[in-house]
Amino acid sequence: MVQITGELGDPPERVLDLWRLDELRGIALDEAGTYLTLGALTTYTEIRRSAVVREHLPALAEAAATIGAAQIQNRGTIGGNIANASPAGDTLPVLLAADASIVLGSGRGERQVAAAEFWTSYRVTVRAPDELILGVRLPLAPRRSVRFRKVGTRRAQAISKVVMALAYREDAGVWRDVRVALGSVAATPIRVPRTERSWRERRVATRPPTMPRLPSRRRSRPSMTCARPRSTVVQ
């Protein structure tokens, strides 16, 4: 839907509506509780309302809740966010930090591509022309926490200026397996290995860490009192 407007290049010659393919919908947890799978047509509303997502990966529900207004969340999908490949896609840093895999399918079969390898350049992915995004698979590592933070020009319905996801595993008061992913700062969503290395083995307080608060950029309001304008004569 984003590309059909022609604002990002020539609009496609043909459009195929996949909305009625129920096989591409749904949120499922495997029997062992080690993987969370979302169908490509799972909407943001379904993600943020899902008890399974809120329990096992609440950062993804938080990200889904920041996207657009209610009508966008009701129609927009996780597969669309992945395929659109915008570096400002709000769910994409969460997928990177959580070591997600994108499931692709075609007449040749299915394959899984790590999120870290899926977006290759600005709005370009490794998906072949004959492939559909079938879903996304997220490993649920034991004792792992994932945090999400978005900064935009407004509190809601804003394109991200910076979007960040942080994943870590706390072990005896030390951070391990740190993943830091950013959006809106490069041509693609990215991981930042140097930051990850600097945060590994870091001792933390007993309370779970909170995402850093950025300084307020709120402008001071002008005075509401105004002087009476002088009369102007135009000749």
Q: What CATH code is carried by the domain that includes residue 119?
A: 3.30.465.10
Residue 8 lies in a domain: no
* Low-confidence stretches of the chain (pLDDT beneath 50): 206, 208, 214-235
| DSSP class per residue in 76-125 | -BHHHHHHH--TT-TTHHHHHHTT-EEEEEETTEEEEEEHHHHEEETTEE
**Residue 211 has what pLDDT?**
55
**Number of domains observed in the structure of the chain:** 1
Q: Which of 185, 164, 175, 48 is nearest to 97 (CA)?
A: 164
What range does the domain containing 82 cover? Answer: 24-199
**Residue 190 has what pLDDT?**
98
Spell 77-89 as b/e; 16+ CB within 10 A means b.
bbbbbbbbbbbbb
CA dist., res. 120 & res. 132, Å (int):
17
Residue 211 lies in a domain: no
pTM of the full predicted structure?
0.83
CB 65 within 8 A of CB 150: no
120 Cβ contact list (under 8 Å, min separation 6): 126, 188
CB 132 within 8 A of CB 109: no
Residue 156 lies in a domain: yes
**Residue 7 has what pLDDT?**
66
Tally: H helices and E strands in the chain: 8, 11
**Residue 11 has what pLDDT?**
81
Residue 57 lies in a domain: yes
Residue 90 lies in a domain: yes
What is the distance between the terminal CA atoms of the chain, rounded to a whole angstrom? 54
Q: What is the pLDDT of residues 110-154, one digit of tens each?
A: 999 999 999 999 999 999 999 999 999 999 999 999 999 999 877
Q: Which of 15, 1, 157, 143 is nearest to 79 (CA)?
A: 1
